[in-house]
Amino acid sequence: MAASALFVLDLKGRVLLSRDYRGDVNPKQAERFITKLNELEESGKVTPVILDEGVSYIYVQYSNLYLLAVAKNNINAGAILLFLHKLKEIFTHYFQELEEESLRDNFVIAYELLDEVMDFGYPQFTEPKILSEYIKTDAHKMEVAVKPPMAVTNAVSWRSEGIKYKKNEVFLDVVESVNLLVNSNGTVVRSEVVGALKMRTFLSGMPECKLGLNDKVLFEAQGRGGKSKAVDLEDMKFHQCVRLARFDNDRTISFIPPDGAFDLMTYRLSQNVKPLIWVECLVERHSRSRTEYMVKARSQFKERSSATNVEILLPLPPDAITPNVRASQGAAVYAPEKEAMVWKIKNFPGGKEFLLRCKFGLPSVEAEEEAKGRMPPIRVKFEIPYFTVSGIQVRYLKVIEKSGYQALPWVRYITTGGEYEIRMA
């Protein structure tokens, strides 16, 4: 599980920073890594984990640097990759920009951080806010000794003690992103919903939060599976603050939240999703060099909801000339850099249908035939506030703190278009 050493290299393989945690690898392993990486790049088989002669090389490239972890034992590659990304966040938090020059200017701080974030090859503290409380960039100017905050020495490493707010509030956004791929014949090839519970907390002290959802597993365990609408969530991933043992026991999401913004939970649903905004495109060729698109956009959600900031990208052939467009709603603009007509509708109520006609010319019929059959799909972006595809509901959000203050919880729902694509006929 443990990493043997960490290296920060430039693109030529020169070592800028190195920290040997276990003493079981040779410093020249960094040179071996660059040689092996160049070989894999030439063969087109580059992977984030390289195994060579019993040594594992796990790396992340960022800007003009490689963050490299080397290990001789059987290592958890996923955990170390996550750690390297966290290390990148820490360096960026301290130096604003993570690049060769910023590391050279801050060698002392960088080595202090390497000592704190990993111990004997095991990841330790990776919360930038907590680290910055006792590893300060201007520490040499301070006359008093800096004490490590309690967060480093207790079980809650993501929150400091002594936080105070005049107004205690919790904001919870339930954000669902719809990924959809529709074939040219109208059949749905892929559909899934990726959701996230995004929180912003402004709470004093060390509050305990409890969150309840309309979880299908919980409702069935309580014997009310058929009475209430419940959601069967898949691939649930939680922030480290959530007590997983408590969740496994009674499906209660119980946690001491970090201060500020964080993702409490992510989930996925692979159910068949009805396309929320359906787009049809009929192509008519009036002459050998003139083509017309007749586009119909229809909202397939309930009338009480409205989609906002709708953007429909209609691909045009790269050599399309003099496009002329008329839309029954919103505005359409030709974007040659995207090789598309961008149709924007600010407000798209449920159960409505809007039309667009687009005429354009092509320099030759050969160009039109070449374009036919290899046009990219229509892409749709949108936001539907106060609406979720899955039907997930926050049943309660309680905040308990020993001082007994009352906190105001605010919950908002929103559905957005993710990878939402409709292939053209």
Residue 242 or 366, more confident: 242
- 136-150, 196-210, 294-308, 345-359: least confident range: 136-150
pLDDT at 134: 73
Per the listing, tokens 């961008």 go with 342
Give the whole-angstrom CA distance, residue 72 versus residue 77. 12
* Cα–Cα nearest to 316, from 359, 366, 347, 354: 359
230-264 pLDDT per residue, tens: 788 888 999 989 999 888 888 889 999 999 999 99
3-state secondary structure 195-243: EEEEEEEECCCCCEEEEEECEHHHHHHCCCCCCCCCECCEEEEECCCEC
Give the whole-angstrom CA distance, residue 199 versus residue 59. 31
35-61 pLDDT per residue, tens: 888 888 888 888 888 888 888 899 998
Q: Are strands 408-422 and 169-182 parallel, antiparallel or unpaired?
A: parallel
Does 368 have pLDDT greater than 70? Answer: no
Mean pLDDT along residues 365-381: 69
Phi-psi region of 89 (alpha: psi -120 to 50; beta: other; left: phi over 0): alpha
**Which tokens go with 181?**
């791929």
Per the listing, tokens 């984990």 go with 49
Does 371 have pLDDT greater than 70? Answer: no
- 260-274, 354-368, 388-402: least confident range: 354-368
- Give the pLDDT band of residue 142 (cuts 50, 70, 90): very low
**Which tokens go with 311?**
């953007």
Give Cα 414 distance to the centre of its chain: 16
Give the whole-angstrom CA distance, residue 343 versus residue 331. 6
Mean pLDDT along residues 160-171: 90
320-335 pLDDT per residue, tens: 888 888 999 999 999 8
